[in-house]
Structure 1
Amino acid sequence: MATSEQAVSSSFMEPFKDILVNYLMPEKCYDEFFLNFNFLHVKMPQILKLLAAKSAEGLSFQSVMLELLAITGTMTYSIAKRFPFSAWGEALFLMLQTVTIGFLIQHYKGSTSKGLAFLVIYFGLVAVLTSPLTPMSVVTIMQASNMPAIVFGRLIQAGTNYRNGHTGQLSAISVFLLFAGSLARIFTTLQETGDSLMILSYIISSCCNFLIAAQILYYWNVRPAVKKKAE
């Protein structure tokens, strides 16, 4: 029997189901993402695309960093507030996948050492932020910073797409899943926590994810130009 949270998500996502199932994913994957809230693999298509292309062309590291700031703020705020894991668990998985993408961007730019340093510094900061050493006021400020971080991060990526005239190695599947997932989370967060700060963050996140999704569609048939090797 479906939980009330699943019923809310199922009802809200029903208009999008045909499009997602017919064009982007099997129905089993749809059920995992939007009924069971298994977000573990949301960004895996992006990671696999980078690994297959051995390139991170078109992806902005600055955008990834700002997105990581927003995800980390949500995660640490939820832990500090003792919200149920179901209300923020996907933030943990998104964080791990976003960190991986950040490392791959540096790695494929030829800066593997910088990528490793990025991993060490980031996980060190997370350990401090989730410890009793960090005051609640700092965690709250981080959560409040989600909104500008999300907006600026998406605008940087949108600007990169516009300048390049294509979306490079951005994964359409990951972009559309993030957009649909953030829409669903507006309503599930309202049901589970009623926290206005988190709800507003998901609303803004949905709007920004829509911008990138729209660019994916606009540049659908445009591919990065192949660079000629110097003779």
Structure 2
Amino acid sequence: MTSLTRNLPWFVRDLGVGAIGETCYVSLVENLNVGDVPCLKLSLSKGLGIGIVVGGSIMKVPQLLLIVKARSARGLSLESYVLETLAYAIQTTYSFRNRFPFSTYGENFFLTIQNIIITFLVILYASHKTLSQSPSSRLATAALATAVTATVLITVPISFLAYLQISTLPISVASKLPQIRQNMRSQSTGQLSAFAVLSQIAGCLARLFTTATEVGDPLVAAGFALALALNCILGFQMWMYWGKDPFDGDMIEKGLSRNSLPVSLPSRKSD
């Protein structure tokens, strides 16, 4: 059997070596040493990392489509998305500038892009009573803020970026709390995507393993652990409020019910 695995096509070998390194490729593939625990853990971590990156590239697409289809961002917290996007951007830049393997943070890059689009949609469909500016002015302001933030993250010293990475812990807490609070107040999750929430829970679990195996940075691991806990709360709310009409939640918050709404009566014809 080893005579076959040691003579695989060059492109297969190059792909394997690129993924898990020369030593582990020779041990696991060419020598079929399934007892090599360190290399098995590395291979599992790489596989999970690639899967998470691929999943992260489409994780928020269902949420985006829900907003576009309904032409409404009802139930979504703008504050949550702004802070979550900032946390993703800091984590992506920190990992990139420290030259961590892309498989350990790639989904954060894709999630940052998707979150920026969703944030723009939330701003676009926000009620005029909530934001006083016109839609075009709001989007221009958001675009300028995005460009400034990206420039700062790319140019600040790496030592200062480490402090920003630490700040992602409170930012992660702050990014989830407005959405959790809004769900509790309205007794509904509105346009919040169940697929996105569950995918984030699964992604955080896998990321804790890949970070411990390939990076070992406690700052990164702590961020994923905290994100996991907060996403689990959102997941519980998705289960608890499943199928509930956002309309009913808004009426509960205002102390009203459907039956208490005024009903227009047909006009009486003059005699």
TM-score when normalising by structure 2:
0.70
Percentage of identical aligned residues: 34
2:60 is the counterpart of 1:43: yes
**1-10 or 48-57: bigger deviation:** 1-10
Q: 2:171 aligns with which of 137, 149, 162?
A: 149
Higher relative contact order, chain-length normalized (CA < 8 Å, sep 6+): 1
Equivalent residues, number: 208
Alignment of 1:176-191 (within 5 A): 176-191=198-213
| Residue in structure 1 matched with residue 44 of structure 2 by the alignment | 7
2:117 is the counterpart of 1:97: no
**Change beyond 3 A, Cα 1:82–1:217:** same
2:219 is the counterpart of 1:197: yes
Q: Does the CA-based 8 Å contact 1:9-1:184 persist in structure 2? A: no
2:154 is the counterpart of 1:117: no
**Change beyond 3 A, Cα 1:87–1:172:** same
Q: Deviation of residue 112 (structure 1)?
A: 3.9
TM-score when normalising by structure 1:
0.81
2:77 is the counterpart of 1:55: no
| Residue in structure 1 matched with residue 154 of structure 2 by the alignment | 130
Q: Does the CA-based 8 Å contact 2:90-2:153 persist in structure 1? A: no
Letter aligned with residue 80 of structure 2: S
**Change beyond 3 A, Cα 1:46–1:112:** farther
2:240 is the counterpart of 1:218: yes
Gaps of 5+ in 2: 1-15, 21-40, 129-134, 251-260, 265-271
Q: Does the CA-based 8 Å contact 1:63-1:156 persist in structure 2? A: yes
Q: Distance in 2 between matches of 1:124 and 1:199?
A: 27
Q: Distance in 2 between matches of 1:47 and 1:112?
A: 20
C-alpha offsets along residues 119-162 of structure 1, whole Å, 9 cap, x if unaligned?
A: 2321232123213xx12232111110111111121111100101
Q: 1:206 aligns with which of 225, 228, 233?
A: 228
Q: Does the CA-based 8 Å contact 1:103-1:112 persist in structure 2? A: no
CA RMSD of aligned residues (A): 2.6
Letter aligned with residue 124 of structure 1: V
Q: Does the CA-based 8 Å contact 1:67-1:149 persist in structure 2? A: yes
C-alpha offsets along residues 23-57 of structure 1, whole Å, 9 cap, x if unaligned?
A: xxxxxxxx9845x7442101001000100110000
Q: Distance in 2 between matches of 1:5 and 1:123?
A: 37
**214-223 or 74-83: bigger deviation:** 74-83
Letter aligned with residue 119 of structure 1: A
Letter aligned with residue 86 of structure 1: S
Q: 1:77 aligns with which of 66, 90, 94?
A: 94
Q: Distance in 2 between matches of 1:181 and 1:166?
A: 24
C-alpha offsets along residues 148-207 of structure 1, whole Å, 9 cap, x if unaligned?
A: 111121111100101111001000011110111111101011111111110111011100
| Residue in structure 2 matched with residue 24 of structure 1 by the alignment | none
Q: Distance in 1 between matches of 2:109 and 2:45?
A: 23
2:83 is the counterpart of 1:66: yes
**Change beyond 3 A, Cα 1:9–1:222:** farther
Q: Does the CA-based 8 Å contact 2:204-2:225 persist in structure 1? A: yes
**Change beyond 3 A, Cα 1:181–1:5:** farther
**76-85 or 150-159: bigger deviation:** 76-85
Q: Does the CA-based 8 Å contact 2:45-2:214 persist in structure 1? A: no
Gaps of 5+ in 1: 14-30
SS of aligned partner of 1:225: helix
Q: Distance in 1 between matches of 2:90 and 2:153?
A: 9
